[in-house]
Every structure is written in structure tokens, then in C-alpha cells.
Amino acid sequence: MTTDRIGEFEELLLLSVRALGGETYGVPIQQYLSKATGRPISMGAVYATLDRLEQKGLVQSGLGDVTAERGGKRKRLYAVTPAGVRVLRDTRKLRDSLWHAFEGGK
């Protein structure tokens, strides 16, 4: 299931995952997004949104390697899918068009 519309937090989360490059997991995503927005972001909000984005086909996840630092637990790694990149680009195009009209460019 994919969608052409995403909410603001979904957009920010997709941009954060993409900015972190390759595959990343929840904690760095939450830290990056909190720093970028200057507001606290809960891990629950991050994981709920990642789940929703995965259901929409905009991110994909998989389990990473076992690490000693996590007591043998694997991290769930996330990456933006090609559909996610397309939706981000479409969202940017729409925002740019609206800003252009707002600034009087019609």
C-alpha cells in the first residue's frame, strides 16, 4: 500500500532517515529529528510513525547483525524506499508551488 500524501511528521521522519543515509535505527533517527526541530521527540512517536510509513511502503526495515552492546539483540534498521523518495519529491514540489504563489509568483 502506498500513498501520495503524508503528514508533516511523516515528512520530517522520512527526511531524517534519508539524511542519516543507508540503513539506520530508531535512536539516531529520534536524536537527529529532535536536534533538527529543536523540540523533544518521543521514541514512541518515532516507532509508531515508522510502522505507519512501512505499511504505506515508504520505508522498509530489516534486522541488523547481533551486537554485544545490546546483549545479543538485533537492531531494526530502516531505509527509505524508492516510493518514499518519490513521495518526498512530490511533497517538496507541492510546497514549492504553494510558497511561490504565497510570495506573489502565481
State whether the Cα torsion 7-75-80-4 is positive or negative.
negative
- Listed in sequence order, the residues at least 6 apart from 15 whose beta carbon sits closer than 8 Å to its beta carbon are 88
**49, three cell numbers:** 510513525
Supply the pLDDT for residue 72: 72
Q: How far apart are CA 16 and CA 28, in angstroms?
A: 9
Report the length, in residues, of the chain.
106
Supply the pLDDT for residue 74: 84
pLDDT, tens digit only, all 106 positions of the chain: 556 789 999 999 999 999 998 789 999 999 999 999 999 999 999 999 999 999 999 999 999 887 766 667 888 999 999 999 999 999 999 999 999 999 987 6
Supply the pLDDT for residue 106: 62
Q: Which domains does the chain have, with CATH numbers?
A: 8-102 (1.10.10.10)
Supply the pLDDT for residue 73: 81
As to burial, measured by CB atoms within 10 angstroms (0-12 exposed, 13-18 middle, 19+ buried), residue 6 is buried
In three-state secondary structure terms, 43 is helix
Supply the pLDDT for residue 70: 61
Q: How far apart are CA 92 and CA 98, in angstroms?
A: 10
Q: How far apart are CA 5 and CA 14, in angstroms?
A: 13
Supply the pLDDT for residue 34: 96
